[in-house]
Amino acid sequence: MNLETARFNMIEQQIRPWEVLDQAVLSLLATVRREDFLPPALRALAFVDTQVPLLPGQAGGPCMLEPKVEARLLQELQVQRHEKVLEIGTGSGFMSALLAHRAQHVYTLECRPALARMARESLHRNGIANATVLEVSAAAGAQGLPAEEPFDVILLSGSVAEVPPALLGQLKIGGRLAAVVGEEPIMRARLYTRVGEAAWSQADLFDTVAPRLDGFAEPTRFHF
């Protein structure tokens, strides 16, 4: 496989048609090596328009999201160089790397030790020093990172039934949070913006489906 041709085709055939037109985002995707954030056995899938499972034998478990989904979320968040970012669900560390290239610092939370270790190694190997991987319990991850708040940007790199108010409260005024919200078969990527002390606006971005983040509450189901 010619990696650079595969990378070019990924950008031109998958990402750009998904309304990702920010040249800074496209240039970043052309230079950060997505394949470096996957185990060797999975690197052939780095440029495919699919979710890539990160842990063998865990169907429905953590995945690297589709390239076009990662790119669109990055574009919508409009991260700036002076901003502090929180990511929940480190996974492979690739999205952490993209965020770190645009932000002042990224804190990223992961509840699976194997993934936290893999992400740290991948970030270090790629020379990214402004991303801190924190291994936490799933329940703690769902609470965000109060010790470092407020954040300019929060990204949930997976899906939740709903975004907890406690996380929205960790945003600065003007801060943005992106998450995939809902239940299968209908989920939507949604962007929240804090517009006041206790006020947030929200906008639906696109329909997608993403693996659940552990530790977040599910809706109560009534049985009769």
Determine contact, residues 13/29, Cβ cutoff 8 Å. no
Instruction: Cis check for the bond before 150: say yes or no (omega within 30 of 0).
Output: yes
Residue 59's pLDDT band (boundaries 50, 70, 90)? low
- Tell me how long the chain is: 224
Residue 170's pLDDT band (boundaries 50, 70, 90)? very high
**Does CATH place domain 3-208 in 3.40.50.150?**
yes
Cα–Cα distances (Å) from 94 to 47, 90, 190, in that order, read: 13, 8, 21
Can you tell me the distance from the alpha carbon of 61 to that of 128, in angstroms, rounded to the nearest whole number?
26
Is residue 97 over pLDDT 80? yes
Q: What is the pTM of this model?
A: 0.95
Q: What is the pLDDT of residue 147?
A: 96
